[in-house]
Amino acid sequence: MPLYEVVPRRTRPPAEAYLSACGSCTRCLDACPTGALDPEHGLDAGLCISTWTIEHRGEVPQEWTDAAAGMLFGCDICQAVCPWNLKAARRGLPPVVPDYGVLSAHAELTLADLAVLDDDEFRRRFRRTPLWRCHPEGMRRNARRILEGGE
């Protein structure tokens, strides 16, 4: 018997302290192209572009292809429009550690290259990077979608 059948799932309301910081701001809700954010229930991962461009295996349904526009990997529009994040960015960030920048070996890659990148080359290039999460087939799928005009 799976553990989730033995232990009842606890559902908790969103943390009030966190939501109280938002006040009447709805920038993230308004900016989300798929409506994945709900002020009462939080993020619906099934509606989130990041889920469809990173986590999903196989082909993506057309409605998500259209919503993802030119996004190759993830979305984070909600993070980009958040006033708290903008305020933090204005404070100044610590210096960028060179190890976390774009590797020169990847800088020359184009969407066309990514659309046909074989599994071994993908592993060699992206094994220890965040891009590893979408797997070779996901990266090819996303690059093809953008090249085919899903932007």
Number of domains in the chain: 1
What's the pLDDT score for residue 112?
A: 95
pLDDT in tens, 49-76: 999 899 989 888 887 777 777 889 999 8
What's the pLDDT score for residue 42?
A: 81
Q: With a cut of 70, which residues of the chain have pLDDT below it?
A: 1-20, 89, 92-93, 96-102, 150-151
Does 3 map to a domain? Answer: no
Does 86 map to a domain? Answer: yes
Q: Which of 24, 45, 23, 25 is nearest to 34 (CA)?
A: 45
Does 44 map to a domain? Answer: yes
What's the pLDDT score for residue 110?
A: 92
What's the pLDDT score for residue 20?
A: 62
Domain that residue 111 falls in? 25-94+103-147
Does 19 map to a domain? Answer: no
What's the pLDDT score for residue 1?
A: 47
Does 39 map to a domain? Answer: yes
Does 9 map to a domain? Answer: no
Does 16 map to a domain? Answer: no
Does 4 map to a domain? Answer: no
